[in-house]
Amino acid sequence: EYDGERNSEGERHGHGKARLPNGDTYDGEYEHGLRSGQGTYRFKNGAFYTGGYLQNKKHGHGIFFYPDGSKYEGSWVNDQRHGYGKYTYPNGDTYTGEWFNHNRHGQGTYIYNDTRSKYVGGWVDGNQEGEAELIHLNHRFLGKFLNGNPVGRGKYVFDIGCEQHGEYIQSEQDKGEGEEEEEPLLLVAPKWKASKITKLTRWTPHGENPPS
């Protein structure tokens, strides 16, 4: 069913409302029969999207509310989360930063709601990867991450004015496949091997000499 404007060729063009055969509804702008411009699309499972469209695909700025209560607000390209945006998870965690092809990718900040801990740094294909800082209430860790875990050399900086240097030794862990909705992250701890405690120094991920 369609109720709205059409052009001289009879195509949906301008503003209109449509009910799709699967029960979804769209209320917004059309160009030459395709959803283009601003609109709101409601899925019959309770999810809905409001924002920009280009040729039937989510494009530009938009907000998507997922059935599990999570939501994404930010940039879309070709139906994918892409560019800069903020995702709020059902448990209250948030990720704010760069997206590429639907995944967290680039630089971003993830805040854990229950502990208020914060991961600030690199992401690759949805995982914490690259140089980053993990900030807790009274101390923080600076180092590198791979597949969501700290890896190799790094240091803990404590608010009392000292640092503990050392490295992370990996412990194996399996990760299941994700669903369409983003899964909130869980903090997992590989084994930390401390080497020395110093006063505060400047952190460089590759410029520090290993302790003798």
Task: Dig out the tokens for 87 from the structure.
Answer: 């995702």
- Mean pLDDT, residues 94-116: 97
The string of DSSP letters for 112-138 reads -TTT--EEEEEEETTEEEEEEEEE-SS
pLDDT score of 210: 46
The string of DSSP letters for 66-106 reads -TTS-EEEEEEETTEEEEEEEEE-TTS-EEEEEEETTEEEE
pLDDT confidence tier of residue 175, bands split at 50, 70 and 90: very low
Q: Are residues 97 and 195 in the same domain?
A: yes
- Does pLDDT of 183 surpass 90? no
Cα 63-88-159 angle, rounded to 5 deg: 140
CATH number at residue 125: 2.20.110.10
In a domain, 48, yes or no: yes
Task: Dig out the tokens for 42 from the structure.
Answer: 């409601």
In a domain, 205, yes or no: no
Q: Are residues 167 and 96 in the same domain?
A: yes
Residue 87 half-sphere exposure toward CB, CA atoms < 13 A: 27
Task: Indicate the pTM of the whole model.
Answer: 0.84
- Mean pLDDT, residues 103-123: 97
The chain-wide mean pLDDT, for the chain, equals 90
Q: Are residues 113 and 194 in the same domain?
A: yes
**Which residues, including other chains, have CB under 8 Å from residue 171's CB and lie 6 or more apart?**
190, 191
Question: Does residue 169 contact residue 133 with C-beta atoms inside 8 Å?
Answer: no
Q: How far apart are CA 20 and CA 189, in angstroms?
A: 48
Q: Are residues 95 and 196 in the same domain?
A: yes
Domain count, the chain: 2
